[in-house]
Chains A and B, each alone.
Chain A
Amino acid sequence: MSVQQIPIEQPLLEVRNLKKYFPVTNSLGKVTGHVQAVNDVSFNMKKGETYGLVGESGCGKSTTGRTVLRLIEPTEGETIYKGENIYQLKGRKLMDMRRELQMVFQDPYSSLNPRKRIGHILEETLKIHRIGSKQERMDRVMDMLNKVGFQSEQYFRYPHEFSGGQRQRIGIARALMVDPSLIICDEPVSALDVSIQSQVLNLLEEIQDEFNLAYLFVSHDLSVVRHIADRIGVMYLGQMVEEAPTDELFAQPLHPYTKALLSAVPLPNPMIKRERITLKGEVPSPINPPSGCVFHTRCPHATEICKKNVPVKRNVAPNHAVACHLYE
């Protein structure tokens, strides 16, 4: 795609022009429109990198994560992993992809089967991929339990005997069982209390170093994403409006939406008084998104051109891309 950049390293994962439209039906089952949940999103991820995908609810960040993993089939676009489009994989190769790309979910309560022992939940992943003998599988599960901070005897406990933070650690252990190279973390700490949140974030960082993992970290919490991500993509209404390395994004946000988003986060520090950019109105419906730039209905800098032309995401600095007419 980009000719001017010479890739030093082949990206681990490349998402190209991903689109996902969900049909909307009326009460008679007739399709009356489409929710444009993800609308032409592209980005790539390097080995061992944490890519943060941020935005508010309904911006399509979770759908993007799920579509990358092919839990949802895309409407258009491709995701290249190891040189192959994962939407065309079948059989053995599909299973390999399913092994190497794992996911950690938001809700620590519904993401573990209440009728199964913790050990069996972790072992199931190995069984699905037919890895190891019974004894080997058990040993691996025990090792993994120790790694995420449990004692071996927790093997026989049921999920309801654990707290939210502990369950989330089990969810992480499940994803780690089969040596993945990339884990999609869908709001992994939003359901947790602050003190527990820090435990889980630290664990994610530790295992990242140990296993050389890449994370696609989907979250609405900017301070969490700032802490963990190397690069960040900001999404609004199904589109990626800005993409930059973390420090640069926070030091110098360019897109008006990113600016507003950053200024809206309440800081846990009463000494800092900031100028807050309050956005007017509400996020428009993704069934019928605004023409031109999707943000123009709420943008304090919108001009005529914003209503007509869709801004293209372009690099304004080597790693800093923004989709906004102000920077053309």
Chain B
Amino acid sequence: MQTTVVREQELSNVKSHIKKERRQLLIRRFLSNKLAVTGSIIIVIILLFTFAGPLFASHDPYELEAKQRLLEPSAAHIFGTDNYGRDLFSRVAHGAKVSIGVGFFVAIITSILGMIIGLYAAYYRSLDNILMRLCDGLMAFPAILLAIAIMAALGPRVENVIIALSIVFTPYVARTVRSSALVIKEQTYIEALKAQGAGATRIIWVNIAPNVISPLVVQATFIFADSIITEAALSFLGAGIPAPAPSWGNLLYDGKMVIFNAWWMTVFPGIAIMLTVFGLNLFGDGLRDLLDPHNNKAKK
């Protein structure tokens, strides 16, 4: 009994040592990946802006001041004011929460749904046909049109934007997961499991799923970015987040009418969208290089 305890103690030391080694290696590799580092710096800045920005915003984003309409950027209003006299900086800062929140939730929901659909489609050939044709059908519509149609059916609410975008983007995730899972399914270790009598649930969730996580995470980053753009487009077309809530898309919508008089109303939200999407895409590309096992080997 005593020896088992000692052995266990020893082993858990070994385990934590190995974990530490692995973590250090990962950090080193991450730091040597310029794309991932640049991308994550941009994302951190945007996140800081999202969460800390509203604290610095001295004005209420909904406060209307008729006298202060369409002021150019100045010390009092560093991004200027909009056509209702609301402070643009505080609207962009508050809008960040909405836009990034939508992107985040869409990325999470599509990942979960896409994983389930993709894994089962890959494992069961009979399901594959049904699920993939369904995905093909959804993917046949331009993303934005499909989103507008769903929004029209559901009504303008933030939750509905998330639902609509999730429906639009899930097929893309499902396809990625399925194609990775198909490769994994043909590996010998899956055959080994079958030879040992393992059931489908064990094979799918314990053995295939961990192997599709990396492509899934990369895909989720891109979906995150895409959702922010599509949300902006939806709101810009008036089919997204209902006014007066600030989202980057709504801000662009407001700016559209006065684009020749007040450049700042379109430029600042535009820059916010661009930076966020750029940061996410850089990060996604970097992540793909990091997680791709072919890049881990020493390059010849």
Contacts and interface: CB of A to CB of B under 8 A. Distances in A.
B112 interface: no
Contacts of A121: 189
B50 to A, nearest CB: 33
Interface in A47-91: 69, 71
Given A71-B194, A95-B197, A128-B202, A114 B211 contact: yes
Interface size class of A (residues with CB under 8 A): 35 or more
A102 B196 contact: yes
B210 interface: yes
Nearest to B197: A98
B189 A110 contact: yes
Interface string A161-199: 000000000010010001000000000000000000000
Interface string B201-241: 01000110011000000000000000000000000000000
Interface in A85-121: 94-95, 98-99, 102-103, 105-107, 110-116, 121
A157 interface: yes
Contacts of B15: 156
B211 A115 contact: yes
A105 B196 CA distance: 13
A115 to B, nearest CB: 4
Interface residues of B, number: 25
A99 B198 CA distance: 11
Main secondary structure of the interface of B (DSSP, over half): helix
A152 B192 contact: no
Contacts of A125: 196
Contacts of B18: 153, 156-157
A155 interface: yes
A105 B193 contact: no
A147 interface: no
A128 B198 contact: yes
Interface in B182-198: 187-189, 191-198
Contacts of A115: 210-211
A136 to B, nearest CB: 11
Given A110-B188, A111-B189, A71 B7 contact: no
B14 interface: yes
B11 A152 contact: yes
B197 A124 contact: no
24 contacts: A94-B197, A95-B197, A99-B196, A103-B192, A105-B188, A110-B188, A111-B192, A113-B187, A113-B207, A113-B210, A114-B211, A124-B193, A124-B206, A125-B196, A127-B202, A129-B196, A135-B4, A152-B7, A153-B10, A153-B11, A153-B14, A155-B11, A156-B18, A157-B18
Interface of B: 4, 7, 10-11, 14-15, 18, 187-189, 191-199, 202, 206-207, 210-211, 293
